[in-house]
Amino acid sequence: MEYNNRDNDRKDRGIGPTATNKIRNSRPLKKYCRFKRNGIKYIDYKDPDFLWKFLNDQGKMLPRRITGTSLKYQRRLSTAVKRGRHLGLLPFVTDKAK
């Protein structure tokens, strides 16, 4: 395999084609349901600090594909967030979006 000038520069810096392939082929950490892993059976809607971990800066709930939460606990989490919003513990919309 022949290197062009750009590849020679990378090779001199210790960033050869094998190093870039290792970076590209590395797998991201597997997502897991933190409720199953920690054995949490009940999601307390009166704990806004815990529920904020599942909300973005606008106050919207983060989807399962980002948090890794299982379907069963995502449904329970959405119920807890809605209850917290109704009681005024969590905002419906935040001003941080501005």
**In whole angstroms, how far apart are CA 2 and each of 5, 7, 17, 21, 49?**
10, 9, 11, 17, 56
Quickly list H helices, 1-98.
5-12, 17-25, 34-38, 48-51, 64-67, 71-87
Q: Which residues contact 44 (CB under 8 A, 6 or more apart)?
A: 50, 80
Domain chopping of the chain, boundaries? 1-28, 34-97
pLDDT bin (cut points 50, 70, 90) of residue 40 is: very high
pLDDT range class, residue 28, cuts 50, 70, 90? confident
More confident residue, 53 or 14: 53
**34-97, superfamily in CATH?**
Ribosomal protein S18 (4.10.640.10)
Mean pLDDT of the region 72-98: 90
2-18 mean pLDDT? 57
